[in-house]
């Protein structure tokens, strides 16, 4: 089966939907998403979107906070661009039906504050910002007859010039070009050829490469892995942000306790009730995330405790229930009343600061292929993301890439697609050994947590790279012998992402931002104030 479209968008989070809504004014858009359309990292985002609205704030202050958080690796021109365009993108969201929490102040918006920010600038919908954004954008996308959403469809690999040549097909393009992707219909098992003039990777991050993560199950690094296999340059994969505070409870899975809780006065305590962040940074609980996560990790290792505690109870019942209703209700399900007692928390993998390298329009080094949102490395975050800059980045780059690619479409609308062959399963058969997939999935996540976590050493990294290469060979054999499934594709992608993180971590001979190596504990600006870039 073959489907032709103008724009193929892989992913249905904030980046993919904003792109689709803008691009839908210029052509036909096909959105594929590997589970239900609402099942995205955006939907689970609690905190909000950082942008300058307060009269006491300024673009320069937001820029300086971002640069400081990025620890020397942010691209200042990109930082300025994103922050300057932020308020207009927020207003566009409002025009699309997003309801942010209001107040009676000068801005009309209730602005929160989070770690690393010098002013209140977090636009939010209480503690369910992402859910509200996702709801409104989906309503807009579904109302547009030019946009079609394919749920339970997972991209397998991109269709590129190099892959066509390997299959003996002559193409006229002189440069590497992308024409879409082979896509698995998860329900039927059929592989569909999606041909597109423009392909957009908006697949989100890769938190599931770690044993403990705030991310939903869909975050298996699919876009990063697909792009890398196709020849896209990848940058800064060593910088994995661990959120300092995820709920620690045997029955809770992936539940984040928003940065905004600390922004509104929450304090971190050890098991004896002692506050400890003042030992590590003058900003205490509102230090940058890398500092807070490492501090918690160190406290847990010194004490042997399995968690620390976050206490917001002193703010009072009415304030907590109104500001954090989702967190309050969820914790109560686990018999934790946050209006009366502290919340047990631990750090967990949260956000990829690296990804597919793009320019200011989200374009990769492959023609017609864009990457936006968490899958991309744009230069905004550097070595450590400033809280709530992620949704901002997705908004700005989705808009820019939609405008840029729409111009390309106008110039090439009538250009025919090459003769792309249908998916060939070869001699692959149905698998009766899914234990291989589940075992390798579990092993990757465990050694990544133990060897490539918050604190690293050369020896641990070498052990990790040895393990992942062995697993890669097993997966390769399994991939070619058996018919593809979503579980197998996710495992394949997860292993690629693990290898990229370890490889970049081994290359960087210093400690900076989110990458902390005990063998190189100091920052080395002379040799390493630069991006780590790798490609096939």
Sole residue written with tokens 């729409």 = 406
- pLDDT band with cut points at 50, 70 and 90 for residue 169: confident
Instruction: Answer with the one of 351, 375, 398 that is the final residue of a domain.
Output: 351
Distance of alpha carbon 233 from alpha carbon 365, whole angstroms:
7
**One domain, residues 519 and 453:** yes
Structure confidence by residue, pLDDT tens digits, 516-534: 999 999 999 999 999 999 9
Instruction: Answer with the one of 377, 412, 447 that is the final residue of a domain.
Output: 412
List residues bridging with 192 in a β-sheet.
183
**102 pLDDT higher than 90:** yes
**One domain, residues 50 and 188:** yes
Distance of alpha carbon 59 from alpha carbon 37, whole angstroms:
34
pTM over the 0.85 mark: yes
Sole residue written with tokens 């936006």 = 372
Tokens of 422: 């249908």
**106 pLDDT higher than 80:** no
Per-residue pLDDT, 215: 93
Domain containing 511: what range?
A: 435-534
What number is the average pLDDT over the span 204-229? 96
**One domain, residues 216 and 266:** no
Per-residue pLDDT, 97: 97
- Give domain status of residue 422, yes or no: no
Structure confidence by residue, pLDDT tens digits, 455-499: 999 999 999 999 999 999 999 988 888 889 999 999 999 999 999
Q: At 405, give phi and psi (nearest 5°).
A: -75, -30
**One domain, residues 295 and 337:** yes
Tokens of 197: 């003039």
Distance of alpha carbon 315 from alpha carbon 169, whole angstroms:
66
Tell me how many domains the chain contains: 3
Tokens of 507: 């290359």
**One domain, residues 391 and 455:** no
What number is the average pLDDT over the span 236-254? 93
- Give domain status of residue 334, yes or no: yes
- Give domain status of residue 78, yes or no: yes
Per-residue pLDDT, 262: 96
**One domain, residues 219 and 100:** yes
Tokens of 526: 């002379």
What lies within 8 Å, CB to CB, of 109 at 6+ separation is 53, 100, 101, 102, 103, 123
H or E segment and range at residue 435:
helix 435-451
CATH number at residue 40: 3.50.50.60
**359 pLDDT higher than 80:** yes
**One domain, residues 367 and 334:** no
Active-site annotation, residues: 289
- pLDDT band with cut points at 50, 70 and 90 for residue 425: confident
**166 pLDDT higher than 90:** no
**One domain, residues 486 and 368:** no
User: Are 533 and 235 contacting, i.e. CB atoms less than 8 angstroms apart?
Assistant: yes
Per-residue pLDDT, 424: 83
**163 pLDDT higher than 90:** no
Distance of alpha carbon 195 from alpha carbon 2, whole angstroms:
7
Average pLDDT, the chain: 95
Distance of alpha carbon 433 from alpha carbon 438, whole angstroms:
10
Tokens of 509: 């001979």
**One domain, residues 66 and 205:** yes
């Amino acid at each position: 089966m073959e489907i032709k479209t103008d724009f193929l968008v892989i992913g249905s989070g904030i980046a993919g939907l904003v792109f689709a809504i803008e691009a839908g004014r210029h052509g036909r858009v096909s959105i594929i998403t590997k589970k239900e359309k609402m099942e995205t990292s955006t939907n689970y985002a609690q905190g909000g979107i950082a942008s300058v609205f307060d009269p006491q704030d300024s673009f320069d202050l937001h820029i300086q906070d971002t640069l400081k958080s990025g620890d020397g690796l942010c691209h200042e021109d990109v930082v300025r661009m994103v922050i300057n365009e932020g308020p207009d993108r927020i207003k566009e969201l409002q025009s699309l039906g997003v309801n942010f929490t209001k107040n009676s102040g000068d801005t009309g918006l209730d602005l929160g504050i989070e770690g690393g920010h010098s002013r209140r600038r977090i636009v939010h919908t209480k503690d369910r910002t992402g859910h509200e954004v996702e709801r409104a954008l989906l309503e807009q996308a579904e109302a547009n007859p030019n946009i079609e959403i394919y749920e339970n469809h997972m991209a397998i690999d991109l269709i590129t010039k190099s892959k066509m040549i390997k299959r003996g097909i002559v193409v006229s393009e002189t440069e590497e070009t992308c024409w879409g992707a082979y896509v698995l219909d998860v329900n039927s098992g059929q592989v569909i050829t999606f041909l597109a003039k423009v392909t957009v990777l908006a697949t989100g991050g890769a938190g599931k490469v770690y044993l403990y993560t705030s991310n939903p199950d869909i975050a298996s690094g699919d876009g990063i892995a697909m792009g890398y296999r196709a020849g896209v340059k990848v940058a800064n994969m060593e910088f994995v942000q661990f959120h300092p505070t995820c709920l620690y409870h045997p029955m809770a899975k992936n539940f984040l306790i928003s940065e905004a809780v600390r922004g509104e006065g929450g304090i971190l305590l050890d098991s004896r009730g002692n506050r400890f962040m003042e030992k590590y940074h003058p900003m205490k609980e509102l230090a940058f995330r890398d500092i807070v996560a490492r501090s918690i990790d160190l406290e847990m290792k010194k004490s042997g405790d399995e968690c620390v505690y976050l206490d917001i109870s002193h703010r009072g019942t009415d304030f907590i229930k109104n500001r954090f209703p989702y967190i309050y209700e969820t914790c109560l399900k686990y018999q934790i009343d946050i209006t009366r007692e502290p919340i047990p928390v631990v750090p967990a993998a949260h956000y990829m600061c690296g990804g597919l390298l793009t320019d200011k329009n989200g374009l990769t080094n492959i023609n017609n292929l864009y990457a936006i949102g968490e899958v991309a490395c744009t230069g905004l975050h550097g070595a450590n993301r400033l809280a709530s800059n992620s949704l901002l980045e997705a908004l700005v780059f989705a808009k820019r890439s939609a405008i840029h690619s729409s111009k390309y479409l106008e110039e090439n609308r009538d250009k025919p697609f090459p003769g792309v062959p249908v998916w060939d399963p070869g001699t692959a058969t149905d698998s009766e050994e899914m234990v291989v997939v589940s075992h390798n999935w579990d092993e990757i996540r465990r050694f990544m947590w133990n060897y490539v976590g918050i604190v690293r050493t050369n020896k641990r990294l070498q052990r990790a790279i040895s393990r992942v290469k062995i697993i890669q060979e097993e997966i390769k054999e399994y991939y070619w012998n058996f018919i593809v499934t979503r579980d197998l594709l996710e495992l394949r992608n997860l292993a690629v992402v693990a290898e990229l993180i370890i490889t970049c971590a081994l290359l960087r001979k210093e400690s900076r931002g989110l990458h902390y190596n005990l063998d190189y504990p100091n920052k080395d600006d002379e040799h390493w104030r630069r991006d780590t870039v790798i490609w096939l």
